[in-house]
Structure 1
Amino acid sequence: MSPSKVSTISWDTFHNTVDGQPRGGKSKHQGVNPATGEKLWEVPIGNQQDVDDAVQAGQKAFVSWSQTSVEKRKEHIQKFCDHYMSYADEMTDLMCKETGKPRQFAEFEVKGVKGFFDHHINLDIPEDRMEDDEKVITTRYTPLGVVGAICPWNFPIILSLGKVVPALLTGNTIILKPSPYTPYTGLKIVELAQDILPPGVVQAIGGDDKLGPMLTQHPGIGKISFTGSIATGKKVMAACASTLKRVTLELGGNDASIVLPDVDIQKTAPELVMGAFQNSGQVCVATKRIYIHEDIYDEMLKAMVEFTKTVKVGAPDSGALLGPIQNEMQYEKVRSFFEDTKNQGYKFAIGEPEQARGKGYFIQPAIIDNPPNDSKIITEEPFGPIVPTQPWSDEEEVIKRANNSNAGLGACVWGKDIERAERIGKRLQAGSVFINSWEKPTPQAFFGGHKESGIGGEWGKDGLKAYCNAHVMHTYKSK
């Protein structure tokens, strides 16, 4: 039975949650609806006292939560899932306002996260056993303590609960820090959790740029799980070094797609476009570079342009496929790629070199036809709806080109010859490689990056170990 709805919940007031209790703050800030430019509700800015209190509450709750049986923890997580899902409609409305996503994609994220709950509830904590004539060696995985989850603004629910659920399952307590650009859904999720979970097990503190360092430097936090940019990830790792706390970093990508000459052009072109422009390009594993075999380059580019012409950009309830850029900072960054492309004289296959700013942060998608290898659009991650294409002829050379990046998060290979596509895919320096699909991470698969795209990883069965210490017991047999 799922819990009945709490009648007192308000969807236009927001607070931090510390030790099971709502907490305001002297300082406040407001998010912005990116589809209208209008300010949203006030949220408190957490301070050092809030962090200290939350860590203390988390440590206290950890004593009993970590000793609660896995089956009992699963029961709590299932009740939490049911309770959350009973508010799916309200959460979808909230997500539309804070992210500007088209309603169908906001709803997909809100409801799709149930897959993360379901997957983890069906997992067992790993345990390995080795025995010989002399001894038994048992490797168990024990929880770390209080986890700090620093979450991004592009998928504020999936990338928050994608940390919360495995942390709880493995016996940790967790403090969620939502992005100041999208604080609302994260704060509400943790508010709902208080109806199900003991105080201190799941807490939330929203704030500004000063809050992250308070978490990363706090000696009472055992692990930081961070999703965000490469630049910020390096700062997080440096801060965590002072206490040697565990750290997982899921950082930016510059994903390459390699298109073989045997593909079905009309079927593949829309998929390439969606891989690049899903969520208005605001995806760490969105396709950022597309390498198309020279034999089909012109025809494929034409088909991609024709499909892109059908892609509508607009507000959540306008029937659009793409929404706005989520915040002004990112909007200006994406515009810099348009400006550089125009200034350098590169060719827009489709897209406007100059885009007039309306009420929201909307940008029409663009495809850049064969810019040079050292161009900004090739070497850097725009995190927006602009993507370059280049022709290739030599397999060895295009693999080298695809790998010529400091990032290594995802990659794709498209081709009817699966054996050839997989052969190429095995040589791509990326944590997740997709054959005949654009990048679609799933809770069933481990997710992490190579090179500067991250340290460690999460999700999948092995992802549980990211929230644990290995605990090895050597038991020698009686003589």
Structure 2
Amino acid sequence: MSPSKVSTIKFDEFYNIIDGEQRSSKNQHHGIDPTTGEESWGVPIGNQQDVDDAVVSAQKAFEKYRYTTLEKRKELLQRYVDAFNSHSEEMVELLCKETGKPKQFAQMEVGGVAAFIGHHLSLDIPEDKLEDDEKVITTRYFPLGVVGAICPWNFPLILSLGKMAPALLTGNTIIIKPSPFTPYTTLKAIEIAQEIYEPGVVQVIGGDDKLGPLLTAHPGIAKISFTGSIATGKKIMAACANTLKRVTLELGGNDASIILPDVDVKKIAPEVVMGAFQNSGQVCVATKRIYIHKDIYDEFLQEMVNFTKTIKTGDSNSGSLLGPVQNKMQYERVKGFFEDTKAKGYKIAVGADTVPSGNGFFITPTIIDNPPNDSRIIQEEPFGPIVPTQPWDDEEEVIRRANNTNTGLGACVWGKDEKHAEAIAKRLEAGSVFVNSFEKPTPQAVFGGHKESGIGGEWGKDGLKAYCNAHVIHLYKQK
């Protein structure tokens, strides 16, 4: 189909945005409403021509946009926030439809866009200067060029616009690929951006599993920023090696939470539950393993059980705390953990040993009481509402247990003695460690993983450098 100019935003029609224009396709893909299992609207499937055209447009736009002042870039981002916020109600409804999130959490994600971009507006691009009698060395950071952002389905707005903000602030242009499971809000968010930015600065191409490799292979793309699974991250890194693209990979985790014996049990237990089950466990830094000191194990676990029993699961408008798992692929994976738990005879503290069939991808939040260290639920990341607990009595041993994983994205330590808790936190091999809070990534700090949880990081002042080349001028003084 022929491209048509972006005009009035319609929230029941969806297009890729290439060179400032709406572009459809003969080949369409349909997202699935996870609360019902029914198909949602059709969206175009991008192809090689779409990628080629988008890269040409982005490269052309970059030659002008790279020389805009930082103040101008901030002005444009603020104007974008204002335009986005004018559609916040429609965005909330759309986000509920594509993710199944309860409305209160969809509102938090939509509202979080302004906060994420707003913090970036407070940042300046780093510049370092060193001077001695002989010379002045100035290190500046210049944009890379065209960024390809490959985004996940669990927080489609925050994790796509959370790449857009630092990319544009540092003077890059960007092509965003939303997940085929949740394409709708991202397509609309970038359509809105056309009201602010010149063609080619911000583009979006939706598609299927063939689209990502087209972006990673394209020689005109200077960097790939990817959030998703470890397996896919490894493929992206290998593909980017052919053209020596810069890569930022934010991958999976198996976050440990260590509960010290001095905690306020009744206060902390519900928070630990929320850390495990927020967004139905579909958070890369959700708590995946809970280690509770043996002296309070039974009491703490009972309080977790009590709170979990109060959690309501349902559709977006039911007043529920948890929604469904977002897609059938992940639903089937999470079911595998329940099947393994039942087959091995592990003790269920609360929840179910079976995932019932029915409309939508709903799963009852479940806690597994003290499965063995080699169990699947301890060793792997479910990315769903099922979590194990284990007792501990030796601090050195529990730190080793927490670190005994190939991942290192996040971790938590809970204790009244803050210095003691922080001392443990320093020894946990993870990119973000939270003391007396469940995992809450923030744009104020760089976010990235250790080990196989990723390469590099984003957000915060240091995260800006991920979108830049260092450029050093050595000026020797004339005498």
Residue type matched to 2:166 in 1?
P
Alignment of 1:186 onto 2:186? yes
TM-score with structure 1 setting the length: 0.98
Q: In terms of mean alpha carbon deviation, does 391-400 or 117-126 score higher?
A: 117-126
Residue type matched to 1:28 in 2?
Q
Q: Distance in 1 between matches of 2:382 and 2:212?
A: 24
Q: Distance in 1 between matches of 2:326 and 2:348?
A: 24
Within a 5 Å distance, the mapping from 1:92-131 to structure 2 comes to 92-131=92-131
Within a 5 Å distance, the mapping from 1:80-479 to structure 2 comes to 80-479=80-479
- Paired residue secondary structure (1:40): strand
Q: Distance in 2 between matches of 1:210 and 1:116?
A: 30
Deviation by residue 1:264-299 (Cα, 9 ceiling, x = unmatched)? 000011001000000000000000000000000000
- Paired residue secondary structure (2:464): helix
- Paired residue secondary structure (1:271): helix
Runs of 4+ in 1 over 6 A off after TM superposition: none
Deviation by residue 1:26-81 (Cα, 9 ceiling, x = unmatched)? 21110011011111000000000000000000000000000011101111111011
Q: Distance in 2 between matches of 1:56 and 1:8?
A: 26
Residue type matched to 1:472 in 2?
V
Could you say what the CA RMSD is over the residues aligned between the two structures, in angstroms? 0.7
Residue type matched to 2:273 in 1?
V
Q: Distance in 2 between matches of 1:427 and 1:73?
A: 39
Residue type matched to 1:287 in 2?
T
Q: Distance in 1 between matches of 2:327 and 2:249?
A: 22
Alignment of 1:52 onto 2:52? yes
Q: Distance in 1 between matches of 2:70 and 2:122?
A: 11
Q: Distance in 2 between matches of 1:451 and 1:7?
A: 46
- Paired residue secondary structure (1:321): coil
Deviation by residue 1:123-157 (Cα, 9 ceiling, x = unmatched)? 11100000000110000000000000000000000
Q: Distance in 2 between matches of 1:272 and 1:77?
A: 36
- Paired residue secondary structure (1:157): helix
Q: Distance in 1 between matches of 2:198 and 2:74?
A: 14
Q: Distance in 2 between matches of 1:275 and 1:356?
A: 24
Residue type matched to 1:284 in 2?
C
Q: Distance in 1 between matches of 2:449 and 2:369?
A: 28
Q: Distance in 2 between matches of 1:9 and 1:71?
A: 28
Q: Distance in 2 between matches of 1:356 and 1:429?
A: 37
Residue type matched to 2:389 in 1?
T
Deviation of 1:401 (Å): 0.1
TM-score with structure 2 setting the length: 0.98
Q: Distance in 1 between matches of 2:305 and 2:120?
A: 40
Q: In terms of mean alpha carbon deviation, does 113-122 or 290-299 score higher?
A: 113-122
Residue type matched to 2:162 in 1?
G
Q: Distance in 1 between matches of 2:152 and 2:175?
A: 14
Residue type matched to 1:97 in 2?
K
Q: Distance in 2 between matches of 1:126 and 1:146?
A: 20
Q: Distance in 2 between matches of 1:121 and 1:66?
A: 17
- Paired residue secondary structure (1:113): helix
* Aligned residue pair count: 474
Deviation of 1:7 (Å): 7.5
Residue type matched to 1:316 in 2?
S
Deviation of 1:358 (Å): 1.5
Deviation by residue 1:284-328 (Cα, 9 ceiling, x = unmatched)? 000000000000000000110010000000000001000000000
- Paired residue secondary structure (1:371): coil
Residue type matched to 1:17 in 2?
I
Q: In terms of mean alpha carbon deviation, does 346-355 or 320-329 score higher?
A: 346-355
Q: Distance in 1 between matches of 2:356 and 2:343?
A: 17
Residue type matched to 1:279 in 2?
N
Deviation by residue 1:88-121 (Cα, 9 ceiling, x = unmatched)? 0000000000000000000100011111111111
Residue type matched to 1:203 in 2?
Q
Residue type matched to 1:289 in 2?
R
Q: In terms of mean alpha carbon deviation, does 404-413 or 351-360 score higher?
A: 351-360
Q: Distance in 1 between matches of 2:22 and 2:166?
A: 24
Deviation by residue 1:162-217 (Cα, 9 ceiling, x = unmatched)? 00010000000000000000000000001000011010000000000000000001
Residue type matched to 2:232 in 1?
T
- Paired residue secondary structure (2:156): coil
Q: Distance in 2 between matches of 1:121 and 1:435?
A: 28
- Paired residue secondary structure (2:421): helix
Residue type matched to 1:18 in 2?
I
Q: Distance in 2 between matches of 1:142 and 1:435?
A: 35
Aligned to 1:12: 12
Q: Distance in 1 between matches of 2:109 and 2:366?
A: 25
Q: Distance in 2 between matches of 1:284 and 1:233?
A: 14
- Paired residue secondary structure (1:109): helix
Deviation by residue 1:203-245 (Cα, 9 ceiling, x = unmatched)? 0000000000000010000000000000000000000000000
Q: Distance in 1 between matches of 2:350 and 2:73?
A: 52
Q: Distance in 2 between matches of 1:161 and 1:257?
A: 29
Q: Distance in 2 between matches of 1:447 and 1:396?
A: 27
Q: Distance in 2 between matches of 1:70 and 1:263?
A: 46
Residue type matched to 1:335 in 2?
K
Deviation of 1:158 (Å): 0.3
Q: Distance in 2 between matches of 1:117 and 1:64?
A: 22
Deviation of 1:355 (Å): 2.0
Residue type matched to 2:371 in 1?
P
Gaps spanning 5+ residues in structure 2: where? 1-5
Deviation of 1:8 (Å): 2.1
